[in-house]
Structure 1
Amino acid sequence: MPTQTAPSSPPTTPPAVTGARAWLPVGALSLGIAILVASEFLPAGVLPALAADVGVSEGTAGLAVAATAIAGAFTAPSIAVLLPRADRRLVLLGLLLAAALSNLAVAVAPGFAVVLVGRLLLGVAIAGYWSLAFGAGVHAAPGRQRLVASALAFGTSVATVVGVPLASVVGDTVGWRTAFGGAAVLSLLSAVALAVALPSVPAHPTAGLRMLREALRNRLLMAGIGFVVLVAFGNFAAYPYIRLAIDRVDPGATTWMLLAWGVGGVVGPILAGVLARWLRPLTAAAPFGLAVALLLTAVAPSVPVLTVAVVLWGVSLNAVPAATQLWVARAEPVRTESAISLQVTAFQVAITAGSALGGVLLDGYGVRPLLVIGAGAAVAAGLGWAFVRLPRA
Structure 2
Amino acid sequence: MTSSTERRGWLSVLSVALGSFVLVLSEFLPIGLLPAIARGLHVDIGTAGLMVVATGLTGAVAAPVVTVATSRVDRRVVLVALTALLVVADALAAVAPSFWVLLVARMLLGVGIGGFWSIGAGIAGRLVAPSAVIRATSFITAGISVATVVSLPLGAFVSSLASWRLAFVIGGGLGVVALGLQVAMLPRIPATQAVRFATLGGLLRIPRARVGLIAAVFLFVAQFAAYTYVSPYLEEMVRVDADTVTIALLVFGIAGIIGNFAAGWTLSRSVIGTIGVAKAVLAASVVLLPLAAQSVVAVFVLLAVWGFVWGALPLGTQTWMSNASPGSSESGLALFVTTIQLAIAGGSVLGGAAVTSFGLATDFWFSGAVAVVGAVVLVWLGQRRPSSPAVTGGTATTAGPATTAAIRLPGAGDPDPVCTPAP
TM-score above 0.5, yes or no: yes
- Residue in structure 2 matching 1:217, options 205, 229, 238: 205
Q: C-alpha separation between the residues in 1 aligned to 2:249 and 2:37?
A: 23
What's the offset of the Cα at 1:321? 2.5
What's the offset of the Cα at 1:387? 3.8
Mapping 1:183-262, distance limit 5 Å = 183-242=171-230, 255-262=246-253
| Aligned residue number for residue 277 of structure 2 | 288
Mapping 1:2-13, distance limit 5 Å = none
Flag the 1:293–1:118 CA change in 2: closer, same or farther, 3 A. Answer: closer
| Aligned residue number for residue 133 of structure 1 | 120
Amino acid at match of 2:16: L
Q: C-alpha separation between the residues in 1 aligned to 2:246 and 2:19?
A: 27
Flag the 1:103–1:113 CA change in 2: closer, same or farther, 3 A. Answer: same
What's the offset of the Cα at 1:307? 5.1
Amino acid at match of 1:80: T
Mapping 1:104-119, distance limit 5 Å = 104-119=91-106
Flag the 1:57–1:277 CA change in 2: closer, same or farther, 3 A. Answer: closer
Q: C-alpha separation between the residues in 2 aligned to 1:292 and 1:149?
A: 29
> Does the 8 A contact of 1:261 with 1:310 survive in 2?
yes
What whole-Å deviation, never above 9, does each CA across 1:230-283 have from its counterpart, x for those lacking one?
2222222332344577789965575544322211211233234455555xx225
What's the offset of the Cα at 1:314? 1.9
Q: Which moved more, 1:129-138 or 1:379-388?
A: 379-388
Q: C-alpha separation between the residues in 1 aligned to 2:164 and 2:256?
A: 26
Q: C-alpha separation between the residues in 2 aligned to 1:26 and 1:334?
A: 20
Secondary structure in 1 aligned to 2:333?
helix
Q: C-alpha separation between the residues in 1 aligned to 2:95 and 2:297?
A: 45
User: Unpaired runs of 5+ in structure 2?
Assistant: 387-398, 404-423
| Aligned residue number for residue 344 of structure 1 | 337
Secondary structure in 1 aligned to 2:228?
helix
What's the offset of the Cα at 1:306? 5.5
> Does the 8 A contact of 1:225 with 1:342 survive in 2?
no
What whole-Å deviation, never above 9, does each CA across 1:325-376 have from its counterpart, x for those lacking one?
3432343344421222222111111112222223333453635522431331
Query: Is 1:101 the counterpart of 2:95 in the alignment?
Result: no
Q: TM-score, normalising length from structure 1?
A: 0.80
Amino acid at match of 2:320: W
Q: TM-score, normalising length from structure 2?
A: 0.75
| Aligned residue number for residue 353 of structure 1 | 346
| Aligned residue number for residue 409 of structure 2 | none
Query: Is 1:378 the counterpart of 2:371 in the alignment?
Result: no
Q: C-alpha separation between the residues in 1 aligned to 2:191 and 2:321?
A: 19
Secondary structure in 2 aligned to 1:76?
helix
> Does the 8 A contact of 1:96 with 1:190 survive in 2?
yes
Query: Is 1:271 the counterpart of 2:259 in the alignment?
Result: no
- Residue in structure 1 matching 2:324, options 328, 331, 343: 331
| Aligned residue number for residue 11 of structure 1 | none
Q: Which moved more, 1:218-227 or 1:381-390?
A: 381-390
> Does the 8 A contact of 2:267 with 2:274 survive in 1?
no
Q: Which moved more, 1:70-79 or 1:351-360?
A: 351-360
| Aligned residue number for residue 414 of structure 2 | none
Secondary structure in 1 aligned to 2:188?
coil
Flag the 1:169–1:103 CA change in 2: closer, same or farther, 3 A. Answer: same
What's the offset of the Cα at 1:56? 4.5
Secondary structure in 2 aligned to 1:205?
coil
- Residue in structure 1 matching 2:13, options 26, 47, 53: 26
| Aligned residue number for residue 8 of structure 1 | none
What's the offset of the Cα at 1:156? 3.0
> Does the 8 A contact of 2:157 with 2:246 survive in 1?
no
> Does the 8 A contact of 2:35 with 2:232 survive in 1?
no
Q: Which moved more, 1:339-348 or 1:35-44?
A: 35-44
Aligned residue pair count: 374
Mapping 1:21-100, distance limit 5 Å = 23-47=10-34, 50-51=37-38, 54=41, 56-100=43-87
Q: C-alpha separation between the residues in 2 aligned to 1:214 and 1:316?
A: 30
